[in-house]
Amino acid sequence: MKPSLYALALLLSACAGTHGADTDVTDSDTVFQTPGPDPEPDDAVKPDDAAKPDSEMPDSELPDSELPDSEMPDSELPDSEMPDSEMPDSEMPDSEMPDSELPDSASDQDDTEPATDSEPCTAMLIINEIDYDMDGSDSAEFIELYNPGPCAVSLDGLSLALVNGNDMAEYARFPLNGGTATEVAAGGYLVLAGPDAIVPAGIPVLPLPANTIQNGPDGVALLAQDRDGLMDAFCYEAPMTAVALEGRDGTFNLLSGTLAEAKDNATSVRSLARMPDGTRTGNDLTDWAITTPTPGATNLLPAP
């Protein structure tokens, strides 16, 4: 006869009791439990971990000073390796700094030059009217200069030369800044006038002695000290194409185009004038006409 399962269980239980083991027995299964060592406290240091070198320790247990830079908190990274967004503005490269915080020399500049009120203009002054002959002593003679340009013309360095048509040589010269003005306003006049010439109040005048301007054939030339050529010129009663001027090399042409037919005389009150003021087309024949004298005022168109 074979022993029953219950008898075998009793036998095994008796054997286990001799070794101090606990045994739980059920009718259907037999379970053996072997007591183990006491559980370790959570904060216990394992011998293996204590012996590991830092290089094999988990990052979470390495001290901050030994963490790789990529694992270190931003606040402890050296400035050179901190993200730009975390760096102080004073240590950010200029190229990364906002425009509003860049120094003036590095911030965006407007290269557009500031606008000026007006463009520089070229000095323009022309011989506009002349009355060289009259009854008596020629004490009311005059030469009128006109500024047709958009800005004032300084008289410094400017002069008017009178030229004899017989020998083509200069016989008188007058610096233009020797009168009552130092400049001629845009659209304004300067009159070189004999003692009896009637010039409107407020018009600059450069006085001339009576009988200064020869009756012709003669010419006048407007000179600038800083120019080799002529600012303007006019000859009357004869062409003057090769005149000599003091202090200037070579000869000069006082004629523009065709000689003007207009002539002054001692029997009537008249003058030669550009029509209208400032007309200078390069042809004296069409630019000049006989008119009523208007020294220092707008030239009057001749009667039809």
> How far, in Å, are 59, 61, 171, 179, 270 from residue 55 at the CA level?
9, 11, 110, 101, 117
Q: For the chain, first and last CA: distance in Å?
A: 170
pLDDT at position 11 is 57
> How far, in Å, are 57, 59, 61, 183, 301 from residue 50 at the CA level?
9, 15, 11, 102, 120
**Mean pLDDT across the stretch 239-247?**
96
pLDDT at position 22 is 45
pLDDT at position 222 is 97
DSSP string, 212-276: -S--SSEEEEEEETT-SSEEEEEEESS---SBB-TT-SS-B----SSPP-----SSS--EEEESS
**Mean pLDDT across the stretch 155-169?**
96
Single-letter residue type at 118: S
Average pLDDT along the chain = 76
Tens of pLDDT along 10-27?
556 555 554 444 444 344
**DSSP three-state, residue 171:** strand
Task: Kindly indicate the confidence band of residue 47, based on its pLDDT and cuts at 50, 70 and 90.
Answer: very low
Dist. CA 232–CA 228, nearest whole Å: 12
- The DSSP code for 1 is -
**Percent above pLDDT 70 for the chain:** 60
Single-letter residue type at 297: A
- Residue of 198 and 107 predicted with greater confidence: 198
pLDDT at position 301 is 82
pLDDT at position 268 is 86
Single-letter residue type at 178: G
Task: Kindly indicate the confidence band of residue 169, based on its pLDDT and cuts at 50, 70 and 90.
Answer: very high
